[in-house]
Amino acid sequence: MLIGQAVWWTVREHVIREAHSSRISGHFGVSKKMAQIQRYCYCPRMYETIVKYIKGCVMRSTNETSNQKIGLFMPLIVPLRPWDKISMDFVGGLPMSKRGHDYMYFVVERFSKISILVPCKKKVTIEQTAKMFFEQVWVHFGLPTSIISDRDNRFVG
Residue 114, domain member (yes or no): yes
Query: Does any domain span residue 46?
Result: yes
Task: Please indicate, yes or no, whether residues 99 and 142 belong to a single structural domain of this protein.
Answer: yes
Q: Are residues 99 and 133 in the same domain?
A: yes
Domain that holds residue 149: 85-156
Residue 104: Cβ-neighbour burial (10 angstroms; 0-12, 13-18, 19+):
middle
14 pLDDT higher than 90: no
Each residue of 46-65: pLDDT tens digit?
788 778 877 777 555 555 55
Banded model confidence at residue 19, pLDDT cuts 50, 70, 90: confident
Residue 138: per-residue pLDDT: 92
Q: Are residues 57 and 97 both part of a single domain?
A: no
Q: Is residue 141 part of a domain?
A: yes
Alpha-carbon distance of 114 to 69, in angstroms, equals: 32
Note whether 33 and 94 are same-domain residues: no
Q: Is residue 12 part of a domain?
A: yes
Whichever domain contains 103, its CATH number is 3.30.420.10
Looking at the structure, tell me whether residues 44 and 10 fall in a common domain: yes
> Residues 21-40: pLDDT tens digits?
666 666 667 777 778 887 87
